Amino acid sequence: MSCSLSFLSYCILLLVLAFCNLPLEVESRAFFVFGDSLVDNGNNNYLLTSARADSPPYGIDYPTHRATGRFSNGLNIPDIISEQLGMEPTLPYLAPQLTGDRLLVGANFASAGVGILNDTGIQFFNIIRIGKQLEYFEQYQRRVSGLIGAEQTEQLVNSALILITLGGNDFVNNYYLIPFSARSRQFSLPDYVVYLISEYRKILQKLYDLGGRRVLVTGTGPIGCVPAELAQRSTSGECSIELQRAAALFNPQLTQMLADLNSQIGANVFIAANTFTMNMNFVSNPQAYGFVTSKIACCGQGPYNGIGLCTPLSNLCPNRDIYAFWDPFHPSERANRIIVQQILTGSSEYMNPMNLSTVMALDSRT
């Protein structure tokens, strides 16, 4: 009798685990993505730029095992959000395949190297700056209007989920790119952060004006702890105090600015994702999350594999799942999955004013 009960309990456990791993069932809605290399899924492949991830070993763990332009060994954050919500993944806006009914799924406008400011990432030459991403969003709406009409297009955009990721490059590829950079001579760090927040507010207001009504806004990660910064600034593996200070100034002001915007609008349009803490959890205690290291990149060269680009000539780890960082700047797919889980179900420590599962539940009732 006890044996059969144990077997029954085991079966119930298997059913519960299987249910927990099912994608959330949601009504069909479009998904739009804006921002930098953390969320770019291939737009830069179509540009003459040095900010590219279209050659091996990028994509080694992607379903096709080919480089796609994602700065990842496999899936990135937007891919995993789409997967978890049971939505069809978006195509890069510049992809020739993004036509007809595929437009109704949404689009990814992100471009590696960009920031809040137009002078961020100038060393990469031809990238889609955030103002241009928003212009493309307007162009997208005109294209969709030609398919389904203006009224239906407005409804599609208003009901869409939007993700935007900006800010990190404004520090690592602008203010701290070189000693005595133009921006560091112009602003003290606290004043620079205030300026960034004021400029970001204009971008988000524009996104709202273009119809965005559910916008996930991620903060910067622990930019002083990525392998690239450890290789340049660390003597014994400690995070860069100055870059961590930058993130510590930026992220709370971003959250407050989003709350102010929501108050001004009178609705919870903007959702703050505390990706700093999400990342810092496994950066400070990698073993607790199944990683062997959060200091050494899987793919790279030099100290911490943090120098230069990830190329076919780089050192490459055999098991990407036990590395928190894939390359000198970007999380591995497994780390991205941990981040997305917090976006979906995290407490107020991680998501403000609510997590994505709560957003989806609320929206399904309206």
CA distance 168 to 214: 22
Identify the CA nearest to 173 among candidates 329, 277, 63: 329
Q: 36 catalytic, yes or no?
A: no
CA distances from 59 to 11, 23, 320 (A): 36, 23, 11
Strands (E), 212-269: 215-218
Catalytic residue (choose from 36, 170, 327, 332): 327
Helix, strand, coil distribution of the chain in percent, nearest 5: 50, 10, 40
Q: 65 catalytic, yes or no?
A: no
Q: What are the beta bridge partners of residue 34?
A: 164
Burial of 307 (0-12, 13-18, 19+ CB in 10 A): middle
CA distance 348 to 342: 10
Q: 330 catalytic, yes or no?
A: yes
Catalytic residue (choose from 36, 72, 82, 330): 330
Q: What are the beta bridge partners of residue 271?
A: 216
- Single-letter code of the amino acid located at 328: P
Q: How many CB atoms lie within 10 A of CB 308?
A: 15
Catalytic residue (choose from 37, 72, 314, 332): 37
Tokens of 52: 């590219």
CA distance 76 to 171: 22
**Residues making up the chain, counted from first to last:** 366
List, by residue number, the catalytic residues: 37, 327, 330
